[in-house]
C-alpha cells in the first residue's frame, strides 16, 4: 500500500500545515504522520468543504451523527461526505443519508448521471446499530412514501396507521403521518403525532423541529421555542432550527436571543436567500443602539468617573 508523509499530503493537496493542524484540533481527522491513499481522499473532501465555507463544527456534528446512526467507526473512510443544498450528507451503499435528520434523501447528482433514484425524498427509516427493522414495517413504510409521492394521501395515511399498529414506538411513521395532517392544516392532530414521535424517540431531532413548526402555526410561541431549543440541543449544527428559533424569538420581542440564532444560522449556512434574510435581520438588530452596544463589545468596560469619558472598546462591524 502506498503511504504518504505529512509533507507529501501538504504538497499534494496544496494545504498549509496550519490547516491540517486545525482539522486535527477540530477532531475532523486523527493526528498521524503517515497517510494512506484513502486518507488523502478524506482530506481532499475536507479541503473542498472548507473552501465552500462549510464550518468545521457542521462537519464534525455530521460525522458524529453518522457514527451514531450507522454505527461507523470512521464515516469519512466508510462513506463519502458531500454538501447537498444547505446540508451535509453521506453517500453510503448507493444511498444518500442525512445523519442529523436521520433520513434518506434523493441523490440528485446520481440521478443526473443516470444512476436512478437512490432514496426517497421523504424521511425514510434508518436502522440504528444493533437493531433490525421487521420486513413488514419496511415494506409498508416504503409503500406509504411512494403513495405520498403519487399524491395518494389517504392510502399513505392508512399505511402509516398500519405501521403504528404493528409498532407503537416507530417514530418515522408518526413524523410522516403528522406531516400529512400538517399540510391538511389539521394542526391539532399533527401536534399529537409529533409529540408521540418525541416520546417514541427522544433523540429524534426532526420530531422536535416539526413539533416546533406546528406549535408556531398554533401561535403557541413559548412551546414552539422550547421545541426548537430541544432540536438544537440534540443537534447544535441544525441550521433550520436556528432560523426558525430566531423568527420565534423576534415574534416574542426577545431580540438578543433572536440575534444569537440569526448569527448561528449564517455561520452554518451563509449562502442563498435564507442567509440573505438572516444577514438583513442581523443588520437591523445591530442597528438598534442598545442592542448594538451590548452585542459588539468584546470585553467588559469598567464605568468611567465621568460619563463624557465613556468609550466603547472592541467594536466590530456586523457580519
CATH number at residue 291: 1.25.40
pLDDT, position 223: 96
The answer to whether residues 162 and 174 belong to one domain is yes
With respect to residue 211, please indicate whether it lies within any of the assigned structural domains: yes
With respect to residue 215, please indicate whether it lies within any of the assigned structural domains: yes
Mean local confidence (pLDDT), 212-217: 94
With respect to residue 140, please indicate whether it lies within any of the assigned structural domains: yes
Domain total in the chain? 4
How far is C-alpha 92 from the geometric centre of its chain's CA atoms? Answer: 18
- Considering Cα of 211, then 212, then 213, then 219, what sign does the dihedral take? positive
Q: Are strands 95-98 and 87-92 parallel, antiparallel or unpaired?
A: antiparallel
Q: Tell me which of 132, 148, 166 is where a domain ends.
A: 132
The answer to whether residues 140 and 182 belong to one domain is yes
CA distance 317 to 208: 34
**pLDDT surpasses 70 at 110:** no
CA distance 317 to 250: 22
The answer to whether residues 21 and 92 belong to one domain is no
**pLDDT tier for residue 248 given thresholds of 50, 70 and 90:** very high
The answer to whether residues 182 and 258 belong to one domain is no
CA distance 16 to 9: 10
Mean local confidence (pLDDT), 251-276: 87
Phi, psi of 311 (to 5 degrees): -130, 130
Q: Tell me which of 112, 132, 152 is where a domain ends.
A: 132
3-state secondary structure of 75: helix
With respect to residue 77, please indicate whether it lies within any of the assigned structural domains: yes
Q: Tell me which of 99, 116, 132 is where a domain ends.
A: 132
- pLDDT tens digit string along 148-202? 877 888 999 999 999 999 999 888 889 889 989 998 999 999 999 999 999 998 9
The answer to whether residues 140 and 225 belong to one domain is yes
With respect to residue 307, please indicate whether it lies within any of the assigned structural domains: no
Which distant-in-sequence residues (6+ apart) come within 8 Å of 32 by Cβ?
39
DSSP for 89-119 reads EEEETTEEEETTTTEEE--HHHHHTT----S
Phi, psi of 35 (to 5 degrees): -120, 145
The answer to whether residues 75 and 26 belong to one domain is no
DSSP for 295-309 reads HH-SS--PPPSSGGG
**pLDDT surpasses 80 at 20:** yes
- pLDDT tens digit string along 119-131? 333 334 444 444 5
Cα three-residue angle 114-115-118, rounded to 5 degrees: 135
With respect to residue 10, please indicate whether it lies within any of the assigned structural domains: yes
Domain coverage including residue 69:
54-132
CA distance 225 to 212: 7
Instruction: Compute and round to an integer the Cα radius of gyration of the chain.
Output: 23
CATH number at residue 170: 1.25.40.10
The answer to whether residues 44 and 87 belong to one domain is no
With respect to residue 223, please indicate whether it lies within any of the assigned structural domains: yes
The answer to whether residues 153 and 189 belong to one domain is yes
The answer to whether residues 187 and 225 belong to one domain is yes
With respect to residue 163, please indicate whether it lies within any of the assigned structural domains: yes
What does DSSP assign to residue 139? H
Q: Contact 89/78 with Cβ under 8 angstroms? A: no
The answer to whether residues 140 and 219 belong to one domain is yes
The answer to whether residues 147 and 208 belong to one domain is yes
Q: Contact 229/242 with Cβ under 8 angstroms? A: no
The answer to whether residues 191 and 142 belong to one domain is yes
Amino acid at each position: 500500500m502506498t503511504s504518504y508523509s505529512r509533507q507529501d499530503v501538504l504538497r499534494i493537496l496544496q494545504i498549509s500545515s496550519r490547516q491540517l493542524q486545525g482539522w486535527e484540533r477540530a477532531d475532523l481527522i486523527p493526528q498521524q504522520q503517515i497517510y494512506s491513499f484513502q486518507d488523502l481522499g478524506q482530506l481532499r473532501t475536507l479541503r473542498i468543504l472548507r473552501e465552500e465555507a462549510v464550518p468545521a463544527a457542521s462537519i464534525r456534528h455530521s460525522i458524529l451523527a453518522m457514527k451514531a446512526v450507522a454505527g461507523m467507526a470512521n464515516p469519512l473512510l466508510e462513506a463519502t461526505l458531500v454538501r447537498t443544498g444547505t446540508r451535509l450528507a453521506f453517500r453510503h451503499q448507493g444511498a444518500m443519508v442525512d445523519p442529523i435528520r436521520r433520513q434518506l434523501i434523493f441523490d440528485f447528482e446520481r440521478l443526473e448521471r443516470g444512476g436512478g433514484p437512490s432514496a426517497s425524498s421523504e424521511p425514510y427509516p434508518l436502522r440504528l446499530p444493533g437493531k433490525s427493522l421487521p420486513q413488514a414495517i419496511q415494506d409498508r413504510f416504503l409503500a406509504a412514501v411512494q403513495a405520498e409521492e403519487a399524491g395518494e394521501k389517504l392510502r399513505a395515511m392508512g399505511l402509516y396507521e398500519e405501521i403504528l399498529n404493528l409498532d407503537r414506538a416507530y417514530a418515522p411513521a408518526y413524523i410522516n403521518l403528522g406531516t400529512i395532517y400538517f399540510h391538511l392544516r389539521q394542526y391539532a392532530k399533527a401536534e399529537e403525532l409529533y409529540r408521540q414521535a418525541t416520546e417514541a424517540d427522544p433523540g429524534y431531532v426532526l420530531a422536535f423541529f416539526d413539533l416546533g413548526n406546528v406549535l408556531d402555526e398554533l401561535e403557541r410561541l413559548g412551546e414552539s421555542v422550547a421545541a426548537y431549543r430541544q432540536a438544537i440541543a440534540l443537534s447544535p449544527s441544525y441550521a433550520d432550527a436556528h432560523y426558525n428559533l430566531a423568527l420565534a424569538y423576534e415574534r416574542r420581542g426577545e431580540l438578543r436571543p433572536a440575534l444569537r440564532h440569526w448569527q448561528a444560522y449564517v455561520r452554518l449556512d451563509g449562502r442563498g436567500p435564507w442567509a440573505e434574510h438572516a444577514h438583513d435581520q442581523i443588520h437591523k438588530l445591530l442597528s438598534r443602539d442598545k442592542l448594538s452596544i451590548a452585542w459588539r463589545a468584546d470585553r467588559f468596560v469598567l464605568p468611567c468617573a465621568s460619563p463624557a469619558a465613556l468609550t466603547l472598546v472592541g467594536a466590530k462591524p456586523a457580519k
